Structure formats: structure tokens, C-alpha cells
A and B are shown apart, each in its own frame.
Chain A
Amino acid sequence: MSLLSVEHATVRYGATTALDAVDLALAAGEIHAVVGENGAGKSTLLRVLAGALVPDRGTVARAPATRVAWVAQEPELPPDGTAAEWIFLAAELRGRLGWLRTAAMRDAAAAALAAVGAAIDPSARLGALSASQRKQVQVARAVRQQAPVWLLDEPTAVLGAAEAERLFAVARGVAAAGGAVVWVSHRLDEVLALADRVTVLRDGRRVASGAAADFDAASLVRQMVGRDVALGARRAGTRGAPCLQVRGLAAGRLRDVAFAVRAGEIVGLAGLLGSGRSTVLESLAGVRRARIQADGHAVAVLLPEDRMRKGLIPTLGVRENLHLPAAGWRLQPSAERRATRDWIARLALRTPGVDAPIGALSGGNQQKVLLARALRRAPRLLLLDEPTAGVDVGAKADIHAQIRALADDGTAVLLASSDLPELLGLCDRILALYGGRVAAEFDAATVDEHALGAAITGQPTADRRQLIADS
């Protein structure tokens, strides 16, 4: 008997069919992964399972008294609330007279945060937390709810390797206790390692479903995109004159960061959560206060992390989001429309129209709009912060291809990512941030994931395999 199931669920948004007669049954004790490209219907399916969206057709069945904890992909947490308040929102502990039991909630919140391995003060303002810490607060809320069924939407997209490992353990615990977890992710290696069963969605339809052991990465990708995709071919490095020369950068926890990037070179920034990867990029782009001694950063264009908070203007359309800041004095709508159509073709961007609301696009396509916004300014130095976080394999390959093509044309690229394989597959050189400075520098052709993992955790030599592999 399943804890939660949907049969023939169909959801339409106007002319678009987001879900097309999808079946899914969640058995007790299983971790059920749902994979698919952006726009395949994964988040919509999760909303239906959570009861937040009533399908136009089909049924949702829930075992009696089964509570469901839903960790949405990009929720807007109130920036001035605290972690403890969010964890207990709408389920506050009250005393006999109805007064809030603040201290008890703070202690319980601290316990829930500890259970997900988060070093977060329960009294911390949510707005002061990083994207990954906010995600950990969401998961702590689910822990606190003690619901048997968990719905996790891209839970690891913003997490570092160690935090992700911790979350795997939490999910396994839920399943082992007789609950069930729906795990939506773009990281196929994680899906294959963690899930008992896998359901693949493509264009709103269920195209495959079965035991995880029956799939491998290649077969999953084939099902997701309906064709074969080459993942991460390495690039023959070409290097030109120095484009960016940072002699000393101090901001936040960073003390004395120094490095150089040449024209045509892709340099990676690796580091754990809070190591200052984003701080380096944001300081160079001038959106954050910093003491910098450097040449060449005046020409930098930044593609920021956290596209909902730092990237998109939700009230503007695709064309307007792409053309920001608008050039010149008078707007040129017809030229903008032409240019937008060109970018749509160049980046294989899927959108209902040139002027469609940005919210009508899937996450990967929103990211392509932001990439186009950065590329439109033809930067000589491009700063990319987690350019493929929460992006499906197809869009990821498209974005990687664009980055390579740019570097081949002589653009200097500085790329921060928590995805070590991405850094290894894309970069010429990789800088490891640790302790507020560049702790090590690697030639990406000769370094492996384990050596890199050791460097970003402050180990002088390689052999911290357990951190990345299984912890």
C-alpha cells in the first residue's frame, strides 16, 4: 500500500500541458527520484503531491493521517524572520495561555538544525543566511514536522558536497523509519547513488520508471532528452595576454586573495560553503564593498548566483530582463526584439515568446536569459557564479558550450562553482579558496576531484577521499 500516489495527473497552464497523465506511487521505505529536463514537469508534480495544486484531471490518494513535508526549490523566506520562527511557522509551540514558548522553540530549532548538520544560530536572520544555509533551514523545518513523506525539490542544487552528504543521510533515515522521500534532482550521480526507484519525466509525460539499479547516467540522460548528449569534453587551452590581475583583495572573510586570469582562459574558483567564492566575484564586479588592488576588473560582467534574488526582475518580461540595464537613452523595442530572437536561437532558449513573463520559463531557461544578459555586453572578463545551479543536463551542456566558445574567442572567464566535476570539465586552471586566501592552484588537466576536495578543506595533501565519496 502506498503512502501517497497520483494517477493520471494532468495539469495545464493555458496552452501548455505541464503534466500529462502522470502516475506515481510512493511506497513506504523508498527514496523515489524524479528526474527530467527543466520544464519537464518535476516541480509541478511535486506541487500536486504536496496538495498545493489540484490537477485538472486525475486523482491524488494519500494514506490516512499521512503528513507531507514539502521543501520547495526556491521559496521566498521572509528576510527579517529568524531560522527558529521559520522552522515553527504555523506550528508554533504555545503555553497554556497561548503565549509563544520562544525558548523551547529555539532549542528545538537548534536540535533540528543540528540534525541536518547546519551550523546556524536559530536566532539568525534569514536574510543574513546564504542560499545553502536557507536551504538547510527549510530541511530543518521538515525534520521538525516529523512527516513520514518528504518532497524535496532540487535540495542539493545550492548545497556544498559535505552538506549534501549530510542530507543524503537524513533522507535515508526518513526512508529507514518507514517513510518515503521524493527526490527531484539534476545531479544524476546523486540520484543513482541514493534512490531506490527513478521516474523520468519528459515534456510532462512519464517516459520511464523503475528500479534505480536498472539505470545508469547515460540511459537516464537518453530518457530525459530523448537523444544522446556528450557530457563535459575537455578543451584545448589557449591563453592570451593577462586580462585580470588581482594583487590583493580583502572583503568579508577574505584576507589577501591574489591571482591572475588571461584572455581566453577559464579559471575556476573552488571552495566550501562560506569560503568566499561569491565574495571574490561580487567584489570584482563592484556590487560588494571590498578593498581591491587589481587591474582589469573594471570591464567585468557578473552572472550572479541565486537567480531569484540577484538575477531576475519578476515583473518584467523576457526581452526586458535580457536588456538590463537598457543601453543609451531611448529604448529601441524593435531592435531589442530582434536581438532577443537571436539570443533565443543562439542559446536554444525555450520561451513562449519574446515578451513572455519571466515566470513562465523553467529554471534552466531563466538562467539562459541571465547568461544572455551578461553576454550581450560582450565582456572581456566574464564572472560566473554557479552558472548551472538547478539547471538540467541539456541546458547545462548548452551553457558549458557557450562558456567554451566565449573563451575560444578570447574572453577571460572566472567561474565559481560548488560542482567539482563542472570545474574539472570546464576550466584550464582551478584556484582553491581556503582560510581567506587562495590556498592552492591546480592545472585542471592533471588534478582530480579528491586532490581538489582536499585543498578546499585545508588538507595539505590529497587523501580526504571519504569527504567527496561517501562520508
Chain B
Amino acid sequence: MRLRLVPGWSALVILALEFACFALILARPGLPHTFANADNIALIFKYSGIFGISAIGAAMIIGAGGIDLSPGAVIALAAVVTGELFVEGGWPLPAAMAAGVSVGALSGGLAALLIVGARLPPFIATLGVMGIARGLAFLVTEGRFYDLSRWLAAGVAPLGVPLSAWPGVLMVGLAIVFQLVMTRTALGRHVLATGGNETAARYAGVRVDRVKAFVYVAGGLLAALSGVVLAVVQGQGKADLASGYELDVIAAAVVGGASLSGGRASVIGAVLGALIFGVLRNALTQIPGGTFADRLILGVAVLVIVVLDRLASGERVKRNHG
């Protein structure tokens, strides 16, 4: 009955089935395939990367028994800080990007301070951080819109990788790194132990405050990196960017096997969750009227996937006791 050999394993099955379904639906006999081709798959990775990078952080935070509502706002703030410094401030691009990413250390650090220091519930603390980050983004831009694409030479390929491939490359690379952190290091075990039973973890000698500080700072950095990538790769920088992304990011982590009651999460699963949504969004743009239905279908998909996953992994009702 244990389908979920690795947490998030079922997300891979769903992703494969989903892709196969759309490949069949969107196939046009005698014409080249507009869905199942290399260019379109590259496009899916490009757009999923933004969610996927943030979802890695969300998976770790949820695994530690927390929640983060700030990624959407942090993405926007990091994007406009990068845009402002590069376009208006005349900073070199790498410096502007580093400044954008460091926004995440500040927002994550603030969340950690509120949660660990002031003992605020994560929901409230990150709701506050979300408001602050979004508000700062509006203050920085004063309604302006940065078009970074005009300033980027066409065909730039840092480290030999085309710009449009970077979101996907970063998503996959970081997923591997943080999957190893979560499954192969003491820190990763302590994250899941804290989420499983914080009191017991503390009694066992786990420094739960450090664990929580780690996940929120890492989550902030990953969200900010998403924002910088969004700004540079898609050439966008405006204050209302990524509105509502925080819930998509949480949904990706949950579809990928994270339990909102804490103690269970998979980084790889969260990235697969982001890809599941990316494939869905992409396919819907190719179906007439599909883009209008995309929020509805995404909402239903989250519910269906989580319910199916529960059934497949055979959540045990009976417990052997006594």
C-alpha cells in the first residue's frame, strides 16, 4: 500500500500522467506538435522556475511546522530593488541582483525574529512581513515600471547557459542541493523533527530556534532569488508583481507531499508540484478559453491531487497500540 516510497514520489506520477494527457489532447494529426516539443518544454521550465525556486523554501518551512505568506511580496520587492538599482541607479547588473537577493535575507530574518524572538504564530508574522514587503515595493517604484529587457543585450548567456534557461536550471540545481540538505544532513532531520513535535524536539536537544531561523531565512532568500530571476529573465519589475503567488507556492509544496500539520515535506516534491501547475497553465493557453478557466482548474486540481495522494499512500486509520 505504500505508494509514497519517497515523499513526493506520487507527484512524479501525476506529472507524467498530466503531460501524457495533454500531449494526446493537443495532438493535431499531420501537424507538428505545439505542446510536446522541446521549445515548449523549455518554456514550461522557464515559467515554472519562478514558482519552483520559492516552493523549495515553502516545503522546508511547512516541514518545520510553519507557514510563509510572504513569497509573492518578497518576489516583487526583490524584482523592483534589482530594477531600481540597475535601471535608475546605474548599478552593474550582478551587484543589483545581489542586492535583490539580499532582500530575502532581510525579510526572512524579520520573519524569524518575529516567530522565534517575539513568539508570534508564523501565519501572523509572515502576514505582516508580506504587507511590509509589498508596501516597500510600492514605495521603491512609486508606480514606475522597470523594463529590464531593453537593457539586456539580446542573446546573453551567463556561464554559457541562455538566459531563458536559467529559471529551470536554478530550480533543478537548488532542488537537488536542498533535497540533500533535507535528507542527508542533521539539519534536515531537525527541520522535520521540529515540525513533527516541536516540544519533543526541544526536549531531545534540538535547537529548534536555530532550525526555525534557518528555514525562514532560506525561504526568504529563495523567494527573493525567484524575484530577481523574474526581473532579469522576463524583463519585468513592478510593485504588483507576483500577487497571490504565495498560495500557489504553498499549493505546490502540498501537492509535492508536504503536510500542513508539519513533519513531512519534500523539496523535490514541491518542485514537481510547481511543474504540475506549470504544465497545466501552459496547456490551458493552447486550449480555446482555457486561460479564463485556469484559476478554477488549478483550484480543483490541488484538491483532486491531494485527495488522490492520501488514498494512494493509504493513510492508516488504525494504529497498533497497546
A residues with CB within 8 A of B: 13, 16, 18, 38-44, 46, 53, 73, 153, 184, 285, 287, 301-302, 304, 309-316, 320, 323-331, 359-363, 373
Contacts and interface: CB of A to CB of B under 8 A. Distances in A.
A43 B321 contact: yes
Contacts of B264: 315
A362 B322 CA distance: 5
B6 interface: no
Most A CB within 10 A of own CB, among B190, B200, B202: B200
Contacts of A331: 183-186, 188-189
B313 interface: no
Contacts of A323: 189
Given A43-B322, A325-B186, A316 B196 contact: yes
B320 A13 contact: yes
B28 interface: no
Contacts of A310: 199-200, 203
Contacts of A373: 204
Nearest to A385: B203
Contact of A312 (B200, B206, B207): B200
B192 A315 contact: yes
Interface string B232-262: 0000000000000000000000000001001
A54 to B, nearest CB: 10
Most B CB within 10 A of own CB, among A42, A312, A315: A315
Interface in B183-224: 183-190, 192-193, 195-197, 199-207
Contacts of A315: 192, 195-197, 259, 262-264
B318 interface: yes
Nearest to B190: A325
Contact of B184 (A311, A330, A361, A363): A330
A2 to B, nearest CB: 23
A364 B190 CA distance: 25
14 contacts: A18-B320, A40-B322, A153-B322, A311-B203, A313-B193, A313-B197, A315-B196, A315-B259, A316-B193, A320-B189, A324-B190, A327-B186, A331-B188, A362-B320
B319 interface: yes
Nearest to B197: A313
Contacts of A316: 189, 192-193, 196, 263
Contacts of A38: 322
Contact of B322 (A73, A314, A327): A73
Contacts of A363: 321-322
B320 A302 contact: no
Interface in B298-322: 318-322
Contacts of B262: 315
Interface residues of B, number: 31
Contacts of B320: 13, 16, 18, 44, 359-362
A302 B203 contact: yes
Contacts of A73: 321-322
B186 A314 contact: no
A329 B186 contact: yes
Contact of A313 (B184, B185, B200): B200
Given A324-B204, A331-B185, A53 B199 contact: no
Contacts of B321: 43-44, 73, 359, 362-363
B69 to A, nearest CB: 22
A314 B189 contact: no
A285 B197 CA distance: 19
A324 B322 contact: no
Given A44-B321, A330-B184, A331-B185, A314 B263 contact: yes
Q: Which 8 residue pairs are nearest across A and B when measured between Cβ atoms?
A: A43-B322, A315-B263, A326-B186, A315-B196, A313-B196, A13-B320, A324-B204, A310-B203
Contacts of A184: 322
Given A38-B322, A315-B196, A325-B186, 12 more contacts: A287-B203, A302-B203, A313-B197, A314-B197, A316-B189, A324-B204, A325-B206, A326-B190, A330-B184, A362-B321, A363-B321, A363-B322
Given A324-B193, A324-B206, A329 B185 contact: yes
B204 A44 contact: no
A237 B192 CA distance: 42
A153 B321 CA distance: 12
Contacts of A44: 320-322
Interface in B34-70: none
Most A CB within 10 A of own CB, among B185, B186, B203, B262: B203
A304 B263 contact: no
Contacts of B319: 13, 359-360
A287 B318 contact: no
Nearest to A53: B318
A18 B321 CA distance: 8
Contacts of A359: 319-321
Contacts of A18: 320
Contacts of A320: 189, 193
Contacts of B205: 301, 324-325
B322 A313 contact: no
Nearest to A352: B320
Contact of A324 (B184, B189, B199, B318): B189
Nearest to B65: A315
Nearest to B186: A326
Contacts of B196: 313-316
A385 to B, nearest CB: 10
A310 B200 CA distance: 4
A326 B204 CA distance: 10
B64 to A, nearest CB: 12
Contacts of A16: 320
